């Protein structure tokens, strides 16, 4: 039976049969449309399966990232042209660098985020010994009205991290105990990253609902996992995702961060897979198991839907 016959079927076919034939045809066509890139075409069953769980973004609300930032979509071809970082036999480790003083509970969150990062990118991830911030120049600190102290994020990128990635490192990300600000006219920022230098920084400060206690463990871990994977995603040349709900959506506030999924959309997964070439199904199973074990139920439910879709 030809494609024409399936798209315009004979009248004697039952509606259920027609629906099945059309579904199979669309899947075949979607795989065929990517034959120009054999890397993605070879994984079309996986990508077509998870694409069914992508959810379109609605109009941004005032104060949201997309409301004030008008960005250009990064196509798959544009991603390839960016020549993103790729692991090699001598360079394959993601490093996380704690900056400041952390409580035992915060240290537990950092270790859980290290585990998540290793699964998310399917690369060895190392949590380095913490580095003190007491010796930072005075102009890198800013006192807020409520008494908490902020750190200048670009200083950490340019003076602490840039050029300091270990020889076997793919990316280096600092995680600070203090709040961050990017420049004098900004209130705060969750994180900042450099595409070219493969370094980034994020802060745990605003993720813990005021105080680091057992009640804030899960929301803090969920938020830090999202922002860490988002910023490290930038280090692998992923731009902000503009059309569907994705961990690569830009966020201006905790409401946006909390509403964004930990999940990469299918298009962003294609981009990252092209660079890292991991086992897609293995990665998805490990992410699902991690979220279940850590009690991250919203993330678990989303990933379980993807897992069900490819089986």
pLDDT in tens, 72-83: 999 999 999 999
Q: What is the pLDDT of residue 36?
A: 67
In this prediction the pTM is: 0.87
Nearest 10 degrees: CA dihedral of 120, 125, 131, 133? -20
Highest-scoring range by mean pLDDT, 18-32, 85-99, 199-213 = 85-99
Residues found in the chain? 311
Range 226-233 average pLDDT? 95
Yes or no: say if 99 and 133 are a contact pair by the CB < 8 Å rule. yes
Please answer whether residues 94 and 171 qualify as being in contact, where contact means their C-beta atoms are separated by less than 8 angstroms.
Answer: yes
Rounded to an integer, the average pLDDT of 247-269 is: 95
Angle at CA of residue 40, ends 70 and 235, nearest 5°: 45
- Give residue limits of the domains in the chain: 1-33, 37-310
d(CA 117, CA 270): 18
Mean pLDDT of 43-71: 94
Smallest CA-to-CA distance from 272 within 80, 19, 55, 90 is with 80
Q: How confident is the model at residue 144 (pLDDT cuts 50, 70, 90)?
A: confident
Distance CA 206, CA 274 (A): 33
Residue 110 reports pLDDT greater than 90: yes
pLDDT above 80: residue 28: no
Task: Report the CATH fold assignment for 37-310.
Answer: Collagenase (Catalytic Domain) (3.40.390)
Q: In what order do the strands lie in the sheet with 179-181?
A: 141-143, 149-152, 179-181
Residue 256: closest CA among 40, 88, 68: 68
- The whole-number pLDDT of residue 20 equals 43
Residues 267-291, mean pLDDT to the nearest whole number = 98
């Amino acid at each position: 039976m030809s494609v024409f016959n399936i798209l315009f079927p004979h009248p004697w076919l039952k509606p259920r049969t027609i629906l099945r034939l059309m579904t199979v045809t669309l899947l075949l066509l979607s795989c065929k449309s990517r034959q120009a890139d054999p890397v993605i075409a070879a994984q079309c069953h996986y990508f077509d399966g998870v694409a069914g769980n992508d959810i379109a973004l609605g109009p941004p609300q005032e104060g949201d990232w997309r409301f004030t930032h008008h960005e250009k979509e990064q196509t798959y071809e544009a991603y390839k042209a960016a020549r993103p970082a790729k692991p090699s036999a001598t360079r394959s480790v993601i490093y996380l660098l704690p900056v400041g003083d952390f409580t035992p509970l915060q240290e537990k969150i950092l270790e859980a985020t290290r585990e998540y990062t290793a699964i998310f990118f399917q690369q060895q991830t190392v949590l380095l010994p913490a580095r003190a911030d007491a010796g930072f120049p005075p102009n890198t600190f800013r006192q807020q009205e409520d008494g908490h102290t902020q750190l200048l994020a670009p200083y950490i990128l340019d003076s602490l991290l840039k050029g300091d990635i270990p020889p076997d490192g793919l990316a280096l990300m600092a995680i600070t105990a203090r709040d961050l600000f990017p420049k004098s006219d900004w209130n705060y920022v969750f994180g900042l990253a450099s595409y070219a230098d493969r370094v980034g920084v994020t802060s745990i400060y605003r993720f813990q609902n005021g105080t680091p206690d057992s009640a804030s463990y899960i929301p803090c871990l969920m938020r830090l996992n999202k922002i860490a994977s988002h910023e490290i995603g930038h280090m692998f040349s992923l731009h902000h995702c503009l059309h569907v709900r994705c961990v690569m959506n830009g966020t201006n506030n905790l409401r946006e961060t909390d509403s964004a999924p930990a999940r990469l959309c299918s298009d962003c997964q294609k981009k990252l897979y092209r660079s890292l070439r991991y086992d897609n199904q293995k990665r998805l199973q490990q992410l699902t198991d991690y979220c279940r074990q850590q009690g991250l139920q919203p993330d678990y439910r989303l990933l379980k839907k993807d897992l069900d879709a490819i089986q």
